[in-house]
Amino acid sequence: MLLEINGNKNMIYIFGDSHAYPGEYDWNCFSHKGWYEYFNEEIENYAHPGTGPQYSFKKFDEVLKKLTNKDKVIFVLSYPSRFDFDSPKPGHSNDISEYVVNNKELYDTSCKEYVDKNYECIKYLFKIMANEISLINLKNILYLKHISYVTKVKFFVMTVNKILHIIEYINDDNFFLLNDLFNISAKEIMNYNIETSFNLNFRDRRKNHLSRKNNENLFHIINYFFKGNKKMMIEKLNSFEINAFEFDEICESTKFIYD
């Protein structure tokens, strides 16, 4: 299945969650650019906060039909426990997952009503998928690798949480995996502690959960990969900013509800 080159302008297709979301929030966020805003090429961004891989692949399947080998794909693989429920808002996937897995309170009224109505079915889904969840993104990575191999389209794939079962040598000229965006984001916080800091509901003021410098750095890494400049890409991979903020500088200690 080799895709034919057409006369259209090069397109970058982006999929994922809040790490790639181009929209605005209703709280005070830093005004710097997101990493995707630095590209000069035309972009279609399908990322939505609070969603998981199922939602992203639903969007990807629509794009796959029109993808050409002039295009590029950037794919953020979010938490696999964010199943794509038929709830009123796509972002409810995160709220439902946090409620079922971590017993966190539901604050969105429409989400709470949906969960109350479908609680037994939701619990059963998580029960039967318990062993599978840890493998979902590994399978997603291998699927995207296959699509890249067959179509010769460049894929830059990022995982939000670290995948422990990564196959060695998966990267090549058309495929690159950046593993564990969460770790890059968390290390920006001075003396961060996953138990006391990130185990909270909060509103992250950073654009796409990254500082200005790290948004720029991430853009350069992706751009160097697309251009085939491995030397500069590796240099930038070792240049992420750390200890840039106190926790209170970037987070409002309020209940975080995805729109």
pLDDT in tens, 101-157: 888 888 889 999 999 999 999 999 999 999 999 999 999 999 999 999 999 999 999
Query: What pLDDT is recorded for position 195?
Result: 55
Domain assignment present for 259: no
Is residue 257 scored above 60 in pLDDT? no
The structural domain count of the chain equals 1
**pLDDT band for position 31 (cuts 50, 70, 90):** confident
CB atoms within 10 A of CB 55: 24
Q: Rounding to the nearest 10 degrees, give the CA dihedral for residues 125, 129, 134, 136.
A: -80
**Are the C-beta atoms of residues 2 and 151 closer than 8 Å to each other?**
yes
Structural Rg of the chain based on CA atoms: 18
Domain assignment present for 6: no
Domain assignment present for 187: yes
What's the first-to-final CA gap in the chain, in angstroms?
Answer: 38
**Are the C-beta atoms of residues 44 and 63 closer than 8 Å to each other?**
yes
For 200-230, write each residue's pLDDT tens digit.
456 788 999 999 999 999 999 999 999 999 9
Q: What is the mean pLDDT of residues 168-185?
A: 92
Domain assignment present for 35: yes
Report residue 15 as tokens.
């999929």
Which residues constitute the domain of residue 226?
11-252
